Structures are given as C-alpha cells and as structure tokens.
Amino acid sequence: MEKPTRLGLGAKGLVLTLVVAAVVYPLLGVIGTSFASQSDIIESTGLVLWPTHPSLEAYRTIFTGGVVTRALLVSIGVTVFGTLASLLVTIGMAYGLSRRGVVGSRFILMTALFTMLFNPGVIPNFLLINELGLYNTFAALVMPTLVSAFNLVVLRSFFMNLPDDLYDAAKVDGAGDFRTLVRIALPLSKAVIAVISLFYAVTYWNAFFNAMLYLGDNDKWPLPMVLRTFVLQGQSLDSASAGEAVAPVQSVQMAVLVVAVVPILCVYPFLQRYFTKGVLTGAVKG
Amino acid sequence: MAETATQVAGTRRKRAGKATAHGTGRHLTLRQRIRRDKVMLLLCLPGLLYFVVFHYVPLLGYVTAFQDYQPYLGYAQSAWVGFTNFTEAFTEAAFWSATGNTLTIALVQLVFFFPVPIVLALLLNSVVSDKVRRFVQSIVYLPHFIGWVIIVSIFQQILGGAGVVPDLLGSMGLPRYDMMSDPGAFPWLLTLQLVWKDAGWGTIIILAALLNIDKQHYEAAAIDGAGRWRRTWHVTLPGVAPVIILLLILNLGQILSVGFEQILLQRDAVGPGAGEVLDTYVYFHGIKDGDWGTSAAVGLVKAVIGTALVLGANKLAHFFGHEGIYRGADR
C-alpha cells in the first residue's frame, strides 16, 4: 500500500485532536473551576482551566456536613448495595440459564428477553412502587433496575463459552452445580464481571429519574438530585450548609460536579480494556 | 454454523427421546428433571421474580387508561370509562404538540447523530499507530459513563447564559446567544449533547465490524489499482453496511423514545412548547397534575406503537439477512 499523504495525516491529526479536546476540555474546566478563587472566575469566562490562586474552600463548603455530604453518602450506599444485589441476581440467573437442558430455561430466558421490547412506562411503574410500599425508600432506587437483560445476556454467553470439559471435569470430581459456579465459572469470568459491575455501578451512581419519581423527602436525595437542584436550577446551598462559606458559588457548584464525576474517572481506566469484548458479546450474541 | 449444528443435535435428541421415553436414566419425568436441575432453577428464581414483578406486573397498571383513576380509591373502585381517556388525549393540542416535538427531535438525531459514530470509526480505523488509536478510543468512550445531570450541568457552564460561549461572543461584540434557552435550537442542543455523550461509544460496534473485513479484499483492490478512497468506497463500506443497516433499523424502532432524562432536565428552560415530548407529557400530566387516566392512555398508545416498531424493525433486520436482536434466544 502507498504511503499516506502528508495532507491526509495532518487533517486526521487535527480532527482527532479536536475530538479529544472536546471531551477533555469541559472536564478539565470543571475541575479547574472547582479550585478557583472569585478573581479567577471573574477574569476568565465561564470555566477556569488553570486557577492562579487555587483554594480548597469550595470542597470545605460541601464536605462540612449538609446537603452534599449527605447526598454523597446516599449515592455511595445505593451504588454499593445496588451493584452487589444486581451482581448476585444477574450471576445466578445467567449461570442458571447457561447450561443446556435445564428444565424451563428457555421459557425463563424469553421472559427476561421480552422485557427488552417494551417498557411498562412511567405511570404503571409509579403505581407499582406505591402499591409495594416502596415509595420514599432507598429500595425504590435499586429494585426497579435490579437486573439488566443486556448484562444478563452478556454474562450468560460468557458462561456458555467456557469449555464444556471444565464443567464435565468438575462434575466428575463430584462438584454440584453451585460449587461449579463458585469454583470454576466465577474465577474464569472476573473480567466480564468487572465490566458488568461497572455498568451497574454507573447506573446507580447516575440514577436521577427514579430518585425524582420515588423519593418524597429531600434528605434522602442522592447526588444527581442535588446536582439538578443546586447546579442546574441554581438554588443556593447555604440553607443547608454553614453560612460561613467564602467560596464563590460557581466553584462550589463545580466542586459538586467534580464529586459526581471523579469516581467514574477513577474506575474507568482499569476497566476500559475489557469493554469491547463485553459490549460485543452482548451485541453480537444477544 | 454452530447454531445450526446444535439445532440438529437438539432435534435428534428429541427424536431419540420419543423412541425410548421410558428407557434408561437419560429421559426423566418432569419431576425428576426439576429435582436434577433444582440448583440451577433456584439460582434463576430471584432474577425471574424481578422480571415478572417489575416488568410484567406493572402492565396491569395500564387498566388506568380505561378508568377515571383515583389514587385513594385504587384500581378496584375507580370508575370504568371505556375509551374516554383516549379520545380526550387525542383532541388535546398539547398531545399533538408533544408528538410533533418527539418526531422532530427523533428526525434531527437520526440525521445528525446517527452518522457520527460511523465517520469517527472510519477515521479511527484509518489511524496507523496503534498507540494513538487506543488513546483516542479510551478518551471518547468515557462520556458514555457520565450521567445526564452532569452533562447538562457542564453544557450549562459552556453554552448557558453566563457560560463560556456567550462570554466569548460578547467579547467579540456579538450578541450573547444562550443556546440552552432557545426553543428553536432545542433539537440541535439535544443532538449536540448526544454526540458528546455517545458518539465515541457508538464506534465500538462499527470498529468491530471493520476488524472482520478480510484484509485480502484490500490487497486485491490495491493490486487492481484502487486508490485509498476507492478502497474505502468499494471494500470498507460494503463490509460494514450490514451493521449500519441493522443499527439504523433498530434506531427507527426506538423513534418514539427520545432521551427522557435528558429532555426532562432541560424542558423548563425552553418551555413545554418546544421541550415537551411524549414521555415528559405522560410524566407531567400524570404524576404532576394527577391526570392519571389520560396520561396512562397516552403511555399505552406510545408503548404499543413503540413495541410494534421494535418488533417490525427486528423483522426487517431478519429480512435483510441479519441476526436481529433476539436470535440468541434460540441457543
């Protein structure tokens, strides 16, 4: 094949640089602004990339108790418990449906898969949560999205693709179905489970709609609801936190955003290399 | 191929089963099979319960579409009103406005979002350096994991009233334009945000399709004297066309469900005239205004059309010779 032209290379480089900048600039801007002082914010327009007098005042404001601290704890709790519950149920179901010839497995699988076709809708879901007595409980943030049919299919395909010999060997050695899952299947599927955990954790961490629908008290709010009220709708935070705050409003808002984004930024690099495989198993085999 | 093989094996097994129904231990009664598989079935149970309770049982809630539903009376005591809720909704201007907005937004997204991941994937694929490609990939996948509240907040900081762009325009002596509160720009704003969030993520499936194209085709084309662009046109595009058609069809199936959370968060800034879509209509009329019956009726219509569209789309995908979404269930 011929060498790429210099013009082509330059154009490609330029476009890719712009694409990367379009993703990175807003995130860096948000992080920078959260450390900025009032003068930095007035001087710059909108976002401060590099604060001249960095201060932690904004973080002190949101972490000294009050709305944001509480919401952060709620979000962490919901994310941890929700992800664990989702994983347990998804692993069980995916494994239960992964071996051929299990009675009724086809029917159970179809029951799960059909839910990808339709969505019960806001009103019936709301009425159900009410009837179950889950309104205004944290369970209402977890239960409605407990299992994703997509994740189920991904994990099931993975279990099915493990070599049959392994399962046979386990059986010969006298391991029951449950022992085989714990000793053979799970250790071999750590990577897929990591990706699925990320998918679930991100769903719970970002969950906003369920919180808005099902939580009446604002002292139960998770982080996204706080973001909406104090960053998007611009309500002031000081009713909840101490009035001594000296940090600029904008850097406080950006600090809340940073708190919401940073956990994602932290786990993402470790799981990123597994994505393609996980996503494709779901898309192609699903 | 593997699927056909297992299917054949399956039929054979079934036939053998008929012949020796009361034969050796291989062919058990239902009760024996349940006992044999009890661990597997128990493992499935919580998940099955979840799907039934949270996806099938709520469907019963759609009876409210045919009732004058009063929350304190419940389903049992609320009065039945036949199709009144439906006729009421269909004569309401707000419903048609929401339908119009939904279709407009869907169309703008289809034309201006759908091709972006394809172009981006082709571009990434043409990058020779593995390191550069992986780096760009890991950067562009990231926004997919950022929630809508965060994304809208960031956009507010950049495009909103006091944001970067209006300030920049102002300093150049131009009018300070706030895209976030311009009703006319709403579909474009949503599409822009969608591109930021998911264009990178969308490349995954197309990059995989590109990997599957036989390298020999490129060599053969090059020997025949095809240049860079001709090879893209005659080898690359036909190679990924099946995936693109499949994605397009599936997209059409989802046409009535434009981003619910994303729109809900920004509807207030542009007003319901431009910002109301079918999903938000149902939410505001039903849960906010307590107009349960009418909004359940609208929700039901939307759900039925939506399901029909997805089923139709899947059929179409099969018709074009692709696997569609639910073939995996055959295994």
Helix (H) or strand (E) holding A277: helix A275-280
pLDDT digits (tens, 9 = 90+) for B30-43: 888 888 889 999 99
What is the arithmetic mean of pLDDT over A19-32? 94
Q: Do B43 and A261 touch (CB under 8 A)?
A: no
pLDDT digits (tens, 9 = 90+) for B81-100: 989 999 999 999 999 999 99
Q: Is A166 part of any domain? A: yes
pLDDT digits (tens, 9 = 90+) for B209-262: 888 888 888 888 888 888 888 888 888 888 888 888 888 887 887 888 888 999
Residue A271 maps to which CATH number?
1.10.3720.10
Rounded to a whole number of angstroms, the distance between the first and last alpha carbons of chain A is 37
CA distance B291 to A124: 13
Neighbours of A154 (CB within 10 A): 25
Contact A266/B at CB under 8 A: no
CB within 8 Å of A202: residues ≥ 6 apart: A264, B145, B147
Q: Can you give the residue range of the structural domain that contains A101? A: 66-233+262-279
Q: Is A207 part of any domain? A: yes
Do residues B132 and A13 touch, judged by C-beta distance below 8 A?
Answer: no
**pLDDT tops 70 at residue A115:** yes
Strand partners, B68: B79
pLDDT digits (tens, 9 = 90+) for B234-246: 888 888 888 888 8
Best mutation site among B50, B137, B159 for testing chain A: the one with the most A CBs within 10 Å?
A: B50
Please give the model's pTM, rounded to 2 decimal places.
0.87
- Top pLDDT among A134 and B1 is at A134
Distance of residue B129 Cα from the nearest chain A Cα, in angstroms: 11
Do B205 and B291 reside in the same domain of the chain? yes
CB within 8 Å of B118: residues ≥ 6 apart: B206, B240, B244
Strand partners, B67: B80
Q: Do B149 and A224 touch (CB under 8 A)?
A: yes
Nearest residue to A142 via CA among A85, A206, A208, A220 = A85
CA distance B40 to A103: 9
Contact A263/B at CB under 8 A: no
Do B31 and B98 reside in the same domain of the chain? no
pLDDT digits (tens, 9 = 90+) for A121-137: 889 999 999 989 999 99
Mapped onto helix, strand or coil, the DSSP state of residue B276 is: coil
Q: Is B122 part of any domain? A: yes
Pairing of strands B67-68, B79-80: antiparallel
Q: Can you give the residue range of the structural domain that contains B88? A: 83-319
Closest CB from A22, A127, A261 relative to B146: A261
Do residues A158 and A193 touch, judged by C-beta distance below 8 A?
Answer: no
A274-278, B103-107, B199-203: segment of lowest average pLDDT: A274-278
Do B58 and B101 reside in the same domain of the chain? no
Closest CB from A127, A227, A268 relative to B142: A268
Read off the tokens for A110: 């179809």
Q: Is A40 part of any domain? A: no
Do B48 and B129 reside in the same domain of the chain? no
Do B54 and B180 reside in the same domain of the chain? no
Do B48 and B167 reside in the same domain of the chain? no
**ipTM for this prediction:** 0.90
Nearest residue to B282 via CA among B301, B295, B297 = B295
Q: Count of A–B CB contacts within 8 Å?
A: 266
Q: How many domains does chain A have?
A: 1
CA distance A230 to A218: 13
CA distance A113 to B47: 12
Percent with pLDDT over 90 in chain B: 44
Rounded to a whole number of angstroms, the distance between the first and last alpha carbons of chain B is 12
Helix (H) or strand (E) holding B55: none
Distance of residue B194 Cα from the nearest chain A Cα, in angstroms: 12
Do B252 and B176 reside in the same domain of the chain? yes
Do residues A253 and A232 touch, judged by C-beta distance below 8 A?
Answer: no
Do B248 and B205 reside in the same domain of the chain? yes
Distance of residue A188 Cα from the nearest chain B Cα, in angstroms: 19
Nearest residue to A56 via CA among A73, A39, A37 = A37
Q: Is B33 part of any domain? A: yes
Interhelix angle A6-34/B186-211, rounded to 10 degrees, is 130
Do residues B161 and B78 touch, judged by C-beta distance below 8 A?
Answer: no
Q: Is B181 part of any domain? A: yes
Q: Do B48 and A285 touch (CB under 8 A)?
A: no
Q: Is B15 part of any domain? A: no
Neighbours of B179 (CB within 10 A): 20
Mapped onto helix, strand or coil, the DSSP state of residue B158 is: helix
CA distance B98 to B93: 9
**pLDDT tops 60 at residue A208:** yes
Q: Which of residues 50-69 of A touch B (CB under 8 A)?
A: none
